[in-house]
Amino acid sequence: MLPSRLTEPLWDQLASLLPERPEYHPDHPLGCHRPRISDRIIFDKMLQLLRFGCSYQAIADTTCSATTIRNRRNEWIRLGVFARFKQIALESYDRIVGLVLDQIAVDGSITKAPGGGEVSGRSPVDRGKQGLKRSGMTDGYGIPLGRVLAGANRHDSPLLAPTPDRLDDLGPLPDDITVHLDAGYDSDKTRALLSERGLHGRIAHKGEKAPIQASQRWHVERTHAWQNAFHRLARCYERRLTVIDASFDLADAVITVRSLIRQAWMTHRWDARPHRSP
């Protein structure tokens, strides 16, 4: 499970985004029904689901049921809590440490999707089984900036066009942005696409050894590994796009805040600062 030095600041921020709810529903005719399950319990359960990748039934216990977890998750999705949560984590990281936005890396990653769903497809690397592809984008350090989800049978190149559009949510951008891509994007169409958006592309050439021209692309590959450490993303059983996006937003917020604590530990002091380097 995640350490308290990480879960506590995450919960404090998420709690500020949740609407206030009475412990007992005021319109109940008898006024004696069971109290509402605490949002903190649901948040901890969602982190456990994300980390361990188990089913809702497996994580449910006497504190809350699987149905309650799903209902509260859907409520938070409708309110846009997860998307806003991830955005606040990015803004905090940018304010304290600083996003490296002049160096962007984009790459695709295929994971399993045994249950199929809205954004699944036949995986070319898993004997045609159902799989999920994400076209992820990171800054120059590896902080996840956004993603585009599609079926595993989609090629990386067509997914490049909507991926940089996620930069529009980050506010003012540097005038000179370099996008690092692997050899799968080596085409005139990709170069024209980047040129239309005012971006410079550093693209690996087909037929040349990757380590020689890896440059800054390894950051996004490391971020894919960080995301796949959350087993619910590495093996996705969710079928709806909104739920999968919410899971990625929560994971990205955890990754961003964890990186923020690690880097700020050397330059900042705060009351709950870990005694040792995290």
Mean of the per-residue pLDDT values of the chain: 89
Residue 112 backbone dihedrals phi, psi, to 5 degrees:
-80, 145
Percent of the chain scoring above 70 in pLDDT: 94
Q: Which residues fall within 8 angstroms of residue 116, CB to CB, at 6 or more apart?
A: 130, 239
Range with the lowest mean pLDDT among 4-8, 37-41, 202-206, 213-217? 213-217
CB 205 within 8 A of CB 213: yes
Q: Which amino acid is at 111?
A: T
CB 141 within 8 A of CB 100: yes
With 0-12 / 13-18 / 19 or more C-beta atoms within 10 angstroms meaning exposed / middle / buried, residue 221 is: middle
CATH topology of domain 99-237: Nucleotidyltransferase; domain 5 (3.30.420)
Tens of pLDDT, residues 254-264 = 999 999 999 99
pLDDT of res. 109: 93
- Bridge partner residues of 122 (DSSP): 130
Please check the confidence at residue 31 and state whether its pLDDT lies above 70.
Answer: no
pLDDT of res. 268: 86
pLDDT of res. 75: 95
pLDDT grade for 270, boundaries at 50, 70 and 90:
confident
Please check the confidence at residue 189 and state whether its pLDDT lies above 60.
Answer: yes
Entry pTM: 0.92
Residue 181 backbone dihedrals phi, psi, to 5 degrees:
-135, 155
Which residue's structure tokens are 């990653």?
Answer: 109
Structure tokens at 131: 């799989």
DSSP element (H, E) containing 108: strand 103-112
pLDDT grade for 241, boundaries at 50, 70 and 90:
very high
Query: Structural domain boundaries of the chain?
Result: 99-237
Tens of pLDDT, residues 7-23 = 999 999 999 999 887 77
Span 224-237, mean pLDDT? 94
Tens of pLDDT, residues 120-148 = 999 998 898 999 999 999 999 999 999 99
